[in-house]
């Protein structure tokens, strides 16, 4: 996969893209990333990319000409590119969206800044995405979050184990609790089922823990979760007011 990031601050991405999974995915040819400086697509010698909003008001707005010029430049080189504007008014980003984007050949992530971008950019993009109902200085942090979330879904990016398959939001459920050594810490012990060596029992316990944690913390996810008859039977035992749900080990 190739990802272009259109930004006023390409230096923002240097360190994150040079670390951990993102660095390894690029070194292995699984991912390539190019940070494009929006100023390089400005029309004047001063490389102006923003201007005052029509109608007055505070702040500055990113100009339409360099934005569209950059979009055309990328599309000429990557006709299949999916063009995405990072905006607080976009669709809320989630794991299902990350999985959809991971199937694309190429992405262009446009980082907004200042008071936003000229609204006419909507005629030249494919979609808008938001990280949530809060305001950031620009679209650089959301762009980086999307690159990270998408990259870990690319085959081979996490190594042979492909642990992304068991991440939170698999089947629209949160992931259950995880433990490692020591077995006993300050009187808090690892559940015995995890030490049993019974893989079927462990798998059942982990599934029930994922259901329990989702029911406790994000019950809204259960409305769209892929549940089996056994899952539904277990969830039926988790009723509000009973305290801790029964141990499923």
Catalytic residue list? 88, 115, 152, 167
Question: Any idea which residue has 């190594």 for tokens?
Answer: 159
Of 1, 38, 9, the C-alpha closest to 148 is 1
Neighbours of 49 (CB within 10 A): 24
Cβ distance 81 to 106 under 8 Å?
yes
Cβ distance 109 to 5 under 8 Å?
yes
Of 205, 204, 215, the C-alpha closest to 237 is 215
Neighbours of 54 (CB within 10 A): 8
Helix (H) or strand (E) holding 77: helix 64-77
Q: What is the DSSP letter of 86?
A: E
Cβ distance 126 to 175 under 8 Å?
no
- DSSP code per residue over 153-171: TSTTTT-TT-GGGGSTTBT
Helix, coil or strand: residue 210: helix
């Amino acid at each position: 996969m190739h990802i272009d990031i259109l930004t006023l601050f390409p230096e923002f991405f240097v360190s994150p893209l040079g670390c951990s999974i993102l660095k390894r995915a690029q070194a292995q040819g699984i991912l390539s990333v190019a940070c494009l400086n929006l100023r390089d697509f400005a029309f004047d010698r001063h490389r102006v990319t923003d201007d005052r909003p029509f109608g007055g008001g505070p702040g500055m707005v990113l100009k339409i000409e360099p934005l569209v010029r950059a979009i055309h430049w990328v599309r000429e080189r990557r006709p299949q590119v999916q063009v995405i504007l990072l905006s607080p008014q976009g669709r809320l980003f989630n794991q299902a969206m990350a999985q959809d984007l991971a199937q694309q050949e190429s992405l262009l992530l446009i980082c907004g800044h200042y008071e936003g971008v000229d609204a006419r950019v909507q005629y030249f993009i494919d979609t808008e995405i938001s990280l949530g109902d809060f305001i950031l200085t620009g679209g650089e942090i959301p762009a980086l979050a999307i690159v990270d979330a998408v990259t870990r879904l690319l085959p081979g990016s996490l190594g042979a184990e492909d642990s992304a398959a068991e991440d939170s939001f698999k089947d629209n459920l949160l992931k259950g609790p995880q433990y490692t050594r020591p077995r006993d810490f300050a009187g808090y012990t690892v559940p015995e089922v995890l030490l049993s060596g019974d893989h079927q029992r462990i798998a059942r316990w982990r599934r029930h823990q994922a259901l329990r944690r989702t029911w406790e913390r994000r019950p809204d996810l259960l409305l769209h979760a892929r549940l089996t008859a056994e899952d539904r039977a277990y969830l039926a035992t988790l009723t509000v007011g009973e305290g801790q749900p029964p141990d499923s080990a």
